[in-house]
Structure 1
Amino acid sequence: MRIARSGASLSPIDVGDHVCWAAPPKAEFQRTARAYLTDGTRLGDKIMVVGPPSPAWQLDLPAAQGQLVDPAACDVGWNADALVSLVRQEAEAAGRQGFRALRVLANMDRIWPAGITPRQVADHELRLDAVIGGSAAMVVCAYAGTRFPPDLLGQAASVHPHFVGDRDAEPSFRVFSGGEDCWNVSGVVDADGAAAFHTAVTELLRTTSTLRLRCADLELIDAAGMRTLAEAAAAFPGRTITVENANALVRKCWELLSYDDPTVPVELVP
């Protein structure tokens, strides 16, 4: 599923999809969100809307099939980590309760606190993507452009496998879960996306000794992107990055820039 245009429908979204939605203005947002949830009721999904029922979220949910979760009303420590745990728990429960899947619409305006950083966004969304990939769930993370500056929206979009919204906000690359202990990289990593790529790789390296990046769908990584990759690996002594299935152009550029050096903790393998 790949949609990247203004006014796009969420209808193609299916089980296992994790979508960054650059949310449109209120009226269009409500219409599109309502259709997404209505599809869920028709297909027999368990529905969860995360975010308080503000005017922009006047969405009718069947009492037996859906729930609203208001982070502001939680008694203890709601944060982005809570969404990861909640999706995992509710996806497991949905199957036992006879639902086809868990269908989530998350209003990130209401989840992220003021002053959120690209690092926090990348860490949370990557962990959420790993959970979704191994469960009967689909999650749409709605990021309103009026609330999130371009760097945060770009970071969020780069760590989702799918993006819905205006093409101007679409990232040039994506990093997303490829299964246990493995991450896919697709698109083009260039100077414009180097900072977001560095943040994503750095957050993944914090939790593993060997980071596997599958790059069969990586079209190009330029000098800035390669430098970013080498610097991220060097910042974690004793940890390595394995780049799998890189195309001939990527491998050749890596050699020409002299990164195929044993002192660089990044290895390109077939």
Structure 2
Amino acid sequence: MRIARSVAGLSPVDVGDHVCWVVPAEDEFQRAARDFLRDGAKIGDKLMVLGSVPPAWLEVQSPRALLIDPADATGGAGWDTDALVSLVGREAEAADRQGFRALRVLAQMERVWPEGTTPQQVADRELRLDALMGGGTAAIVVCAYPSSVFPPELLEQAGSVHPHFTGRLEQAPAFQLFHSAKGHWNLNGVVDADGAESFHAAVIGLLRNMPVLRLSCRGLQLIDASGMQMLVKAADAFPGHRIMVEDSNPTVRKCWELLGFDDPTIPVELAP
């Protein structure tokens, strides 16, 4: 079972981890990224760098390592979600055939996403990548988001749709939504007025691709009225789709009833 956590740097990451790394400064990125790649080479991972990392970084490992700059490959347009997910999945399978322990990916997200990417697009893309990781793909993916490039609202969104988070934000993501099993997603933390828009964007991204979204809320401490309203708003955007809220605590269930959401016409159901 995947468990959300904050990590102190990149050293603790392991196979199956999908990490949001908010990078405060270029020199810190250079140091930590070198260590991350070198550690992988030592333990038998195949390395893949998505970005403009100097080739000298790859001198310590196999010539089969991959250095790909999406911005150059697409003329600055960045990659769409299908291209990114397909690439990681395909190269993870190749790494396994070639005898590597896993595929170790470092992605410079300012080179991956096109200019003008919205928080909702980030949520959609990262959640689809997380579904690949949570589905048992033998890979480690670190998504590096420079705080000097991306606005605070996009950084907050990125942090909320990864199971693991490291780096510096004014405030760490209040909630985390991540893949647990096919059709099942874990929701942890707190969803209140401050994070309601980010939560709505994340749920919209999931509902777009599945008729029934199952949210396990065992790790959810609180969802206030604004969060509940966003949950219903997201479900209403896709007629015929439903959200099943599972493992919610008694406080959440009581508030749901008191606010009048316990209504069979609402396409959100709290499972018994």
Asked if these proteins are the same fold (TM beyond 0.5), I'd say yes
> How far off its partner does 1:163 sit?
0.4
Q: Distance in 1 between matches of 2:145 and 2:56?
A: 17
User: CA offsets, 1:47-84, max 9 Å, x none?
Assistant: 10100236xx8623424352211113326875132221
Question: Does residue 3 of structure 1 match 2:2?
Answer: no
Quickly say closer, same or farther: Cα 1:113–1:58, change in 2 above 3 A: farther
Q: Distance in 2 between matches of 1:209 and 1:95?
A: 33
User: CA offsets, 1:142-174, max 9 Å, x none?
Assistant: 000111001111111110001001252420001
CA contact (8 A) 1:243 1:268 kept: yes
Mark the runs of 5 or more structure 1 residues left unpaired by the alignment. Answer: none
Q: 2:47 matched to which residue of 1?
A: 47
* Letter paired with 2:198: A
Q: Distance in 1 between matches of 2:142 and 2:113?
A: 15
Q: Which moved more, 1:161-170 or 1:133-142?
A: 161-170
User: CA offsets, 1:69-103, max 9 Å, x none?
Assistant: 11133268751322211100011111100000000
User: CA offsets, 1:234-254, max 9 Å, x none?
Assistant: 121111100010011111110
Q: Distance in 2 between matches of 1:164 and 1:15?
A: 17
Quickly say closer, same or farther: Cα 1:75–1:154, change in 2 above 3 A: closer
Q: 1:119 matched to which residue of 2?
A: 120
Q: Distance in 1 between matches of 2:183 and 2:121?
A: 20
* Letter paired with 2:40: G
Q: 1:185 matched to which residue of 2?
A: 187
Q: Which moved more, 1:64-73 or 1:98-107?
A: 64-73
Question: Does residue 264 of structure 1 match 2:263?
Answer: no
Q: 1:73 matched to which residue of 2?
A: 72
CA contact (8 A) 1:30 1:59 kept: no
* Letter paired with 2:89: R
User: CA offsets, 1:188-229, max 9 Å, x none?
Assistant: 001010000001111111111111111111111011000111
- Helix, strand or coil for the counterpart of 2:21? strand
Quickly say closer, same or farther: Cα 1:155–1:102, change in 2 above 3 A: same
TM-score (norm 1): 0.93
Q: 2:209 matched to which residue of 1?
A: 207
CA contact (8 A) 1:45 1:65 kept: no
* Letter paired with 2:173: P
* Letter paired with 2:189: G
Q: Distance in 2 between matches of 1:53 and 1:164?
A: 20
- Helix, strand or coil for the counterpart of 1:129? helix
Q: Distance in 2 between matches of 1:37 and 1:155?
A: 26
Correspondence 1:1-270 to 2 at 5 A: 2-3=5-6, 8-53=8-53, 59-61=57-59, 62-74=61-73, 79-81=79-81, 82-133=83-134, 134-166=136-168, 168-270=170-272
Q: Distance in 2 between matches of 1:36 and 1:53?
A: 13
Count of matched residue positions in the alignment of Structure 1 and Structure 2: 265
* Letter paired with 1:95: D
Q: Distance in 1 between matches of 2:241 and 2:6?
A: 36
- Helix, strand or coil for the counterpart of 1:37? helix
CA contact (8 A) 2:40 2:47 kept: yes
- Helix, strand or coil for the counterpart of 2:107? strand
Q: Distance in 2 between matches of 1:165 and 1:152?
A: 14
Q: Distance in 2 between matches of 1:116 and 1:139?
A: 20
- Helix, strand or coil for the counterpart of 1:260? coil
Percent same amino acid among aligned pairs?
58
TM-score (norm 2): 0.93
